[in-house]
Amino acid sequence: TMADDTKPDADTVQVLRDMANRLRIHSIRATCASSSGHPTSCCSAAEIMSVLFFHTMRYKPTDPDHPDNDRFILSKGHAAPVLYAAWAEVGDISESDLLNLRKIHCDLEGHPTPRLSFVDVATGSLGQGLGAACGMAYTGKYFDKASYRVFCLMGDGESSEGSVWEALAFASHYNLDNLVAVFDVNRLGQSGVAPLEHCTDIYQNRCEAFGWNTYLVDGHDVEALCQAFCQAAQMKNKPTAIIAKTFKSRGIPNVEDADSWHGKPVPKERADAIVELIESQIQTNKNLMPKPPVEDSPQISIRNIKMTRLPDYKVGDKITTQKACGLALAKLSHENKRVIVLDGDTKNSTFSEIFKKEHPERFIECFIAEQNMVSVALGCAARGRTIAFVSTFAAFLTRAFDQIRMGGISQANINLIGSHCGVSIGEDGPSQMALEDLAMFRSIPNCTVFYPSDAISTEHAVYLAANTKGMCFIRISRPETEVIYTPQENFEIGQAKVIRHSDNDKITVIGAGVTLHEALAAADHLSQQGIAVRVIDPFTIKPLDAATIISSAKATGGQVITVEDHYQEGGIGEAVCAAVSREPDILVHQLAVSGVPRSGKPSELLDMFGISARHIIEAVKYTLKN
């Protein structure tokens, strides 16, 4: 009954207190064993963790990633030992394994990663957990329409991150009443005090200003915590913030609330005495079991999505890959109910509005908060609940690079679509031009990077991304370009297309997006002068089809020209150089954008920045002369 939930009986209160102290002891022991880690950050949160894991949250202890379970995100990821301690007390980790914290063969890493079944998203880069929690809560409320709830534990220091406030705004805008954020206000950060110290009322006022229901509690009072969590569960239409006043290193004499103890294990020679003191406060050895979840999330499948109709374009049609991408998402939406799209107020530029028109209930407007948008997508995709596509200008994804990087560490299944790449967007000028995005996404482990050059290949890129594990990036362009493939053409990741070739090709030109069309124009021009050029569309920049590139290069005298609407650093040319680096007889000449571009017509910019057909023709002639 509700009365039971609100007011745990005296026995339960004592067991929860004792559990908090057990979590402290595990955290102290584990960090001593590894001679590193953050026991002091664990100790401030011990009661919060005890109450969440043994009183509030509903989940299956033997099945940590069950879809019906309540979710927990440790946004202050450096407190990982207390999370591992909780799962040890639940029974999912052996107590002896806790002492392998941070060791090379143990998955109990310094900060949580999804190598562990109870971790949905990697944390440790501060300020990102709440955004992911928002994605899980949005998914629970609007897609799964299920009972599970989402809890996120944050530090006061990390709350200086702007991304925290992006997430706070998102959660109240979407009435995420299944979401609870706990602020562990222990006054201290890493190198000194957090800016608001113990002014918990300021946190409360700010959260209320952001539209949240709030409770101020003593974060070491398990009864107060139980009550606040229970009240949060009754709250309709608003997310709840629990502002918990705590003390860093709580329970460790001379260390509690003291400066200069962040990220330090207690001195080895004091560890036994500290543990004995904490142990002496434990009065019970009763074990609590978590409440089982309500089993009401739907059975879903997100695998093996088929293209049931061929693409509806004819060779020679003119359409931008941006529009083709929006149309492809709309088409994909009919093949699987769990396809969702997130956009950051650019839906009528990226054409994701075409998807929205078909399925408004599966479109999340994330407003102009790209970091949060990426974190929300990570949360939506966690536990395989959705196939999430994020779309915005590729240039604006760069501000979410840290979130993207953390998505890579999470081995997350999200798909990012970056529009308006390169100087070819024209008049809007350099602030809107993505010229670094390939470098960024190529550097993400296991990220598949698609760079389609026409509408047909764009549609295939979208379908392949939906079916590909790990992160995918699709780079799409603003100018209209001709459809060059037939509807029957088949596309595979890592398989380039040789789209122009003859027996006496003198050189291989590799372009993608608009520059592929420049390369084709150059090849046409050169063929009139009797110079045959081989032209390759790489389709995916990562993985890159090295075999096709090398065999083409060898067939054309070892001469290769790359041309890209991107900076040289980290772009297609460098990817090709890496692919041929063990081939002594292949020479790569790179054409890429350099310097700071400006406003102008797309064709003027392609020419001014050295990547137009004219420059390709010049480069071919220069190469063949030398």
Ligand X SMILES: *[C@@H]1O[C@H](CO)[C@@H](O)[C@H](O)[C@H]1NC(C)=O
Ligand Y SMILES: Cc1ncc(C[n+]2csc(CCOP(=O)(O)OP(=O)(O)O)c2C)c(N)n1
What residues line the site for ligand X (CB under 6 A)?
348-349, 445-446, 469-470
d(CA 437, CA 422): 9
How far is Cα 547 from Cα 545, in angstroms, rounded to an integer? Answer: 6
Binds 248, which of ligand X, ligand Y, none (CB < 5 to 8 A, cut-off by type)? ligand Y
Let me know: does 30 contact 238? Beta carbons within 8 Å.
no
Strands 240-245 and 472-475: unpaired
> Which one of residues 81, 129, 155, 452 is an interface residue with ligand Y (CB under 6 A)?
155
The DSSP secondary-structure symbol of 290 reads P
**Cα angle, residue 581 at apex, residues 578 and 582 outer, rounded to 5°:** 140
Query: Is there binding between residue 184 and ligand Y (CB under 6 A)?
Result: yes
User: Do residues 110 and 187 touch, judged by C-beta distance below 8 A?
Assistant: no
- Phi/psi for 485 (5° steps) reads -105, 155
Tell me how far, at minimum, the Cβ of 345 lies from ligand X, in Å: 9
| Candidates 188-196, 319-327, 440-448, 550-558; binding stretch for ligand Y (CB under 6 A) | 188-196
Instruction: Determine, following the binding rule CB under 6 A, whether residue 44 of this chain makes contact with ligand Y.
Output: yes
Contacts (CB under 6 A) with ligand Y, residues 70-129:
76, 78, 124-127
Residue 298 partner contact from ligand X, ligand Y, none using kind-dependent CB cut-offs of 5 to 8 Å: none
Separation between Cα atoms, residue 451 and residue 616, nearest integer Å: 20
Q: ∠ CA 439-601-313 to the nearest 5 degrees?
A: 75
Q: How far is the CB of 411 from ligand X (least distance, A)?
A: 8
DSSP state of 188: B
Tokens of 214: 């709030």
Task: State the minimum distance, in angstroms, from the CB of residue 336 to ligand X.
Answer: 21
Whether the CB-CB separation of 131 and 375 falls below 8 Å is answered with yes
Q: Is 186 in the site for ligand Y (CB under 6 A)?
A: yes
Between 191 and 348, name the residue whose CB sits nearer to ligand X. 348
DSSP 3-state of 241: strand
**Residue 476 and residue 419 in contact, taking contact as beta carbons nearer than 8 Å:** yes
The residue among 39, 45, 57 whose CA lies nearest residue 19 is 45
Give me the least distance between CB of 347 and ligand X, in Å please. 8
Find the angle CA(39)-CA(43)-CA(49) to the nearest 5 degrees: 115
Interacting partner of 349 out of ligand Y, ligand X, none (Cβ under 5 to 8 A depending on kind): ligand X
**Residue 189: which of ligand X, ligand Y, none does it interact with, CB under 5 to 8 A by kind?**
ligand Y
Which of ligand Y, ligand X, none does residue 228 bind to, with CB < 5 to 8 Å depending on kind?
A: none
Q: Which is nearer to ligand X, 75 or 322 (CB)?
A: 322
Check: CB of residue 522 under 8 Å from CB of residue 507: no
Q: How far is the CB of 162 from ligand Y (least distance, A)?
A: 11
Q: Does 141 bind ligand Y (CB under 6 A)?
A: no
With CB atoms as reference, the residue minimizing the distance to ligand Y is 155
Q: Is 95 one of the annotated active-site residues of the chain?
A: no
From the list ligand Y, ligand X, none, pick the one residue 7 interacts with, judged by a Cβ distance below 5 to 8 Å according to partner type.
Answer: none
Taking CB under 6 A as the criterion, the residue among 156, 257, 343, 437 binding ligand Y is 156
190 near ligand Y, rule: CB under 6 A = yes
Query: Is residue 249 a contact residue for ligand Y (CB under 6 A)?
Result: no
Smallest gap from Cβ 450 to ligand X, in A, equals: 15
Task: Quote the tokens at residue 48.
Answer: 């919060």
- CB-wise, 131 or 452, nearer to ligand Y? 131
Choose the catalytic residue: 47, 353, 370, 459.
370
- Among ligand X, ligand Y, none, the one that 502 touches (CB under a kind-dependent 5 to 8 A) is none
Cα–Cα dist 621/607, whole Å = 17
Residue 117 CA to residue 114 CA, distance in Å, equals: 6
Q: Which whole-number Å values give the CA distances from 539 to 132, 152, 475, 520, in the listed order?
A: 31, 40, 10, 15
- The partner in contact with residue 348, picked from ligand X, ligand Y, none with C-beta cut-offs of 5 to 8 angstroms by kind, is ligand X
3-state helix, strand, coil in the chain (%, to 5): 45, 15, 40
Q: Which stretches of 419-496 are DSSP H helices?
A: 437-442, 455-467
Which residues from 255-274 bind ligand Y, rule CB under 6 A? 262
Binds ligand Y (CB under 6 A): choice among 48, 180, 194, 327: 194
Beta strand pairing call for 559-567 and 540-542:
unpaired
How near is the Cβ of 413 to ligand X at its closest, in Å? 11
User: Which ranges of 564-612 would DSSP assign to H, the alpha helix?
Assistant: 572-579, 602-608
Nearer to ligand X, 477 or 559 (CB): 477
Residue 144, contacted partner among ligand Y, ligand X, none, CB below 5-8 A by kind: none
**Total of chain residues touching ligand Y, rule CB under 6 A:** 20
Kindly state whether residue 188 participates in binding ligand Y, applying the rule CB under 6 A.
yes
Nearest distance, CB of residue 620 and ligand X, angstroms: 33
Which residues belong to the active site?
A: 370
> Under the rule (CB under 6 A), what is the footprint of ligand Y?
41, 44, 76, 78, 124-127, 155-158, 184, 186, 188-190, 194, 248, 262
